[in-house]
Structure 1
């Protein structure tokens, strides 16, 4: 056992935040998020790992109702177009889903990526040019898990046209929006993801997603992989 391992209670808290994190759309309360709490969330996001330590993120905090309404209008237009991708019962279900809490939540937050930060040659980004975008997503995840620990709900609104959102928020050239988030205290954190509860999709079994020594490779080859296979077959982590 590693001497760097967290005490049991602290480890449990990390895994609890992971399993109980939810994409919140419908449960926001109007209570304001205190500034010290938001500062802790932003600090957690800012401590995410990033390729070449370029830290490509910026955080646009939005509490102006007029800006929220403009973003909500962008979502309505993009959502109406997205609905055309589905037919029959799937289309009906899609239209019933609530996919954003832009106006309902007290705070909105846009996490951006400055693709030029760090200069022309960023260490580690020579072949994977989108590693800066991946880094910004890690900042989002840090914030999301910290928010769950604080009792703050987060909802990611991905049904937005990025160029239109950039214009509404006045983003400079080379800075792209990565995540538009709704933040606030909630009435509850659902027992399972909302899309799963609504019958849109279910969580895939982990045993179908883990491969050994190459795509499609079995796990029962070698002592370690055999032990991993047995652990996976014993049951997926709790869905909540």
Structure 2
């Protein structure tokens, strides 16, 4: 049965295409600037993410200053050297070959922050789970990422950073957390599969093994769903 509210097939497939073809881009950036009207669309998409209690805890720092990016890159270099020490042998050699950021190569950096005080002391729906402000901001990141893929723009999330030092570089208020530091730009191409899968670091886990029925580890009670999941796995 098809819902009357479903998108037309072509539009529906476009949504799924953006999801499946989204990549964490580190090395394929071109120097072409992102037009202001395109960046505005991406930010608007991010701003329309859902948020608990409609708190909208995010802000967007658009960073085109080379000087600021060099300071952030220096933080990455130090933290990445520390992270590399955790991997030895072949794994360590592979880690050191990985390209894990495009801070200076991308034409634009964007930091999406979370104001942990937004909405006041009592935000609807946040009483039991105080981290919902962080979860909500992650949804803004995902909205922007999918919209960027639809626009042909690559996005890379730089997670190997000292967040406190990053906050100082960006002059963030004490209650504002730098949740996602992103590199944005047009790219030469989007890889067919995630880069970490291509180089053998990790592979995508089978979906059929990640779905449980009614409780953890319980077998699905609907064999038709299991069959549908298996079909979707083979089609990707």
Fold shared, TM-score > 0.5 on shorter chain:
yes
Q: Give TM class, smaller chain.
A: over 0.9
1:233 Cα deviation from its structure 2 partner:
2.2
Q: Would you say 1:233 and 2:234 are equivalent positions? A: no
For the 8 Å contact 1:112–1:177, the answer to whether it is kept is yes
1:235 Cα deviation from its structure 2 partner:
4.0
Question: Structure 2: how far apart are the matches of 1:41 and 1:238?
Answer: 30
Structure 1 counterpart SS, 2:182 = strand
Q: Residues 92-131 of structure 1 correspond to what in structure 2 (within 5 A)? A: 92-131=93-132
CA RMSD for the aligned pairs?
Answer: 0.9
Query: What does residue 183 of structure 1 align with?
Result: 184
Question: Structure 1: how far apart are the matches of 2:216 and 2:19?
Answer: 26
For the 8 Å contact 1:19–1:238, the answer to whether it is kept is no
Question: Structure 2: how far apart are the matches of 1:35 and 1:15?
Answer: 26
- Deviation beyond 4 Å, 4+ runs, structure 1: none
Tell me the TM-score normalised to structure 1 length: 0.96
Q: Residues 33-52 of structure 1 correspond to what in structure 2 (within 5 A)? A: 33-52=34-53
Structure 1 counterpart SS, 2:183 = strand
Structure 1 counterpart SS, 2:62 = strand
Question: Structure 2: how far apart are the matches of 1:234 and 1:156?
Answer: 31
1:127 Cα deviation from its structure 2 partner:
1.0
Question: Structure 1: how far apart are the matches of 2:19 and 2:230?
Answer: 21
Query: What does residue 197 of structure 1 align with?
Result: 198
Question: Structure 1: how far apart are the matches of 2:16 and 2:133?
Answer: 26
In structure 2, runs of 5+ residues without a counterpart are none
1:234 Cα deviation from its structure 2 partner:
2.4
1:198 Cα deviation from its structure 2 partner:
1.0
1:236 Cα deviation from its structure 2 partner:
1.1
1:230 Cα deviation from its structure 2 partner:
1.1
1:185 Cα deviation from its structure 2 partner:
0.1
Query: What does residue 173 of structure 2 align with?
Result: 172
Q: Can you list the C-alpha shifts for 1:171-203, whole angstroms capped at 9, x where unaligned?
A: 001000000000000000000001111110010
1:238 Cα deviation from its structure 2 partner:
5.0
Query: What does residue 150 of structure 1 align with?
Result: 151
Structure 2 counterpart SS, 1:176 = strand
Matched residue pairs, number? 235
Structure 1 counterpart SS, 2:196 = helix
Q: Can you list the C-alpha shifts for 1:115-164, whole angstroms capped at 9, x where unaligned?
A: 00000011111111101000000000000000000000000000001000
Structure 2 counterpart SS, 1:215 = coil
In structure 1, runs of 5+ residues without a counterpart are none
1:12 Cα deviation from its structure 2 partner:
0.5
